[in-house]
Amino acid sequence: MTELSTTIGLANLGNTCFLNVVLQALRFSPPLGEICLIDNTIEKRKESNKKLLLDEFQILMRDFWKAHIAEGAKPTMMPRRFHGAFLRTIQEAGDDWHHFGQQSDAAETIQYILNGIHDAIYKNVVMRINGKARNQEEQGYIKAIDSWNSFFGKEYSPIVENYNGQTQTDVICESCNAVSTRYEPWLMLKVPLPGGPTPYNTTPDATLTDCFNLGFANDSLDDYQCDACKVKGKATIRNRISNFPPVIILTLKRFTNNMQKVSGKVAWDMNRLDLRSWAAFSAGDPFNKMYTPPIYETTAVIEQQGSFRGGHYRMYAKQNGIWNEYDDNDVRQVPGESVANCDAYVVFLTRTNMIDSMNTQFIKHIRSIRSKHEAAKEA
């Protein structure tokens, strides 16, 4: 048993299972431990209207980790303070998407909380590119970094550093083969589900590879106006990932435009998900000095059961190689097959080459806060 084995449930405060699974998944994500468990107080922007959200999130994260809990014990916390801050922030910021007692979407809640933390702490940074491009691929590196700088140079934070990725979109003229490229950042990566033989079900043997292939399939334009050859004609649209963050929060599109649920399991290797097939660059990584393949391990899964507004959420966390199911205040150990067979909705993926160092640093912060908590009790 290590510090990361801690199992704590969260009380349901009235249709708050969507929020409980989000808080559980986020508490196991090491970059947020770096933000919330550090010794010094987080420096917040005075202009931000998300400071209260961050303050209460940090308190909750510290409450999760500060106490030594006996092996096998499964206490329950009441997240009333954070829930109140969550509702108040939404109301005061005019973000009218959730109301008290309403069942809401877990993916939207993750986006809101992480964007809120980012808004409270972002800073202006200077990004410089050293050296010159030696080939066409390295010219692409520079374009990708320039775009990243234009999006985040004035609003950079640990959320951007650890969770934001970037997609490269090429539009290729079929008349002259000229390529027009643009870049788009994302906090959560969304991929569609392969439709099955019956409405609102996946194919019986659907895999996550199928989802990525659908999400990054080439598209076409019939009336593309090419700036290079000035001809209006056909073009191919190609999407690839140009920045793979340390943690990818992947959303499977389980809801149609008319909010119908698409049910069915999606299979993948939860220990090793290789994303090289959808990489924009084949020989390097413009955002890291050393190239390592974008291979990820699954560390948490949020399951959505039922319909869009009337469903229920559960979260599965991989703790020291063991999967635990978090269902509000109920926590129990489950086999990996239970996770593999669930209606996965949101998946937390961590780069395999970084996960050990992340967890080591995370444990260091947990030990520090526990030591201070014990000292305060004895004082």
Residue 309 pLDDT class (50, 70, 90 cuts): low
Distance CA 27, CA 77 (A): 13
Residue 304: pLDDT above 60? yes
Can you count the helices (H) and strands (E) in the chain? 10, 14
Average pLDDT, the chain: 92
Q: What CATH code is assigned to 3-128+136-378?
A: 3.90.70.10
Amino acid at position 11, single letter: A
Sequence-distant (6+) residues with CB within 8 A of 357 are none
Query: How many angstroms separate the Cα of 229 from the Cα of each of 209, 223, 224, 226, 238?
Result: 36, 14, 11, 6, 19
Residue 131 pLDDT class (50, 70, 90 cuts): confident
Residue 25 pLDDT class (50, 70, 90 cuts): very high
Task: Dig out the tokens for 278 from the structure.
Answer: 């959808």
Residue 231 pLDDT class (50, 70, 90 cuts): very high
Residue 40: pLDDT above 70? no
What single-letter DSSP state applies at residue 3? Answer: G
Biggest CA pair distance of the chain = 78
Distance CA 163, CA 147 (A): 17
For 303, the 3-state DSSP assignment is strand
In the chain, what are the domain boundaries?
A: 3-128+136-378
Question: What's the pLDDT tens digit per position in 182-200?
Answer: 999 999 999 999 977 777 7
What's residue 279's pLDDT? 97
Dihedral angle computed from the Cα positions of residues 129, 132, 135 and 138, in that order, rounded to the nearest 10 degrees? -10
Distance CA 175, CA 154 (A): 39
Residue 351 pLDDT class (50, 70, 90 cuts): very high
Distance CA 159, CA 51 (A): 15
What's residue 277's pLDDT? 96
Residue 308 pLDDT class (50, 70, 90 cuts): low
Distance CA 158, CA 343 (A): 30
Q: Residue 215 is inside which H or E element, if any?
A: helix 208-215
Summarize the confidence of residues 155-174 as an average pLDDT: 97
Residue 374: pLDDT above 90? no
Query: How many angstroms separate the Cα of 65 from the Cα of each of 11, 16, 62, 114?
Result: 17, 21, 5, 20
Distance CA 355, CA 17 (A): 28
Q: Which percentage of the chain shows pLDDT scores above 90? A: 74
Which has more confidence, 373 or 245?
245
What's residue 38's pLDDT? 83
For 176, the 3-state DSSP assignment is coil
Residue 307: pLDDT above 80? no
Question: What's the pLDDT tens digit per position in 43-92?
Answer: 899 999 999 999 999 999 999 999 888 777 789 999 999 999 999 999 98
Query: How many angstroms separate the Cα of 146 from the Cα of each of 129, 137, 149, 241, 320?
Result: 9, 14, 5, 16, 39
Summarize the confidence of residues 115-141 as an average pLDDT: 90
Question: What is the phi/psi pair of residue 257, to 5°?
Answer: -60, -25
Q: Are 160 and 153 in contact (CB under 8 A)?
A: no
Q: Are 310 and 29 in contact (CB under 8 A)?
A: no
Query: How many angstroms separate the Cα of 375 from the Cα of each of 67, 95, 121, 378?
Result: 12, 41, 29, 5
Q: Are 202 and 219 in contact (CB under 8 A)?
A: no
What's residue 97's pLDDT? 82
Closest listed residue to residue 317, CA positions, set 80, 21, 32: 21
Q: How far apart are the first and last CA of the chain?
A: 28
Range name among 97-101, 157-161, 226-230 with the lowest pLDDT average: 97-101
Sequence-distant (6+) residues with CB within 8 A of 289 are none
Question: What's the pLDDT tens digit per position in 280-296?
Answer: 998 888 998 888 999 99
Closest listed residue to residue 221, CA positions, set 207, 235, 231: 235
What's residue 2's pLDDT? 75
Summarize the confidence of residues 14-35 as an average pLDDT: 95
Closest listed residue to residue 22, CA positions, set 246, 317, 263: 317
Residue 243: pLDDT above 90? yes
What's residue 311's pLDDT? 85
What's residue 379's pLDDT? 66
Opening angle at CA 253, ends 252 and 257, nearest 5: 170
What's residue 83's pLDDT? 97
For 278, the 3-state DSSP assignment is helix
Summarize the confidence of residues 9-15 as an average pLDDT: 95
Closest listed residue to residue 25, CA positions, set 336, 302, 349: 302
Residue 315: pLDDT above 60? yes
Q: Which percentage of the chain shows pLDDT scores above 70? A: 98
Question: What's the pLDDT tens digit per position in 316-340?
Answer: 999 999 999 999 999 999 999 999 9
Residue 1: pLDDT above 60? no
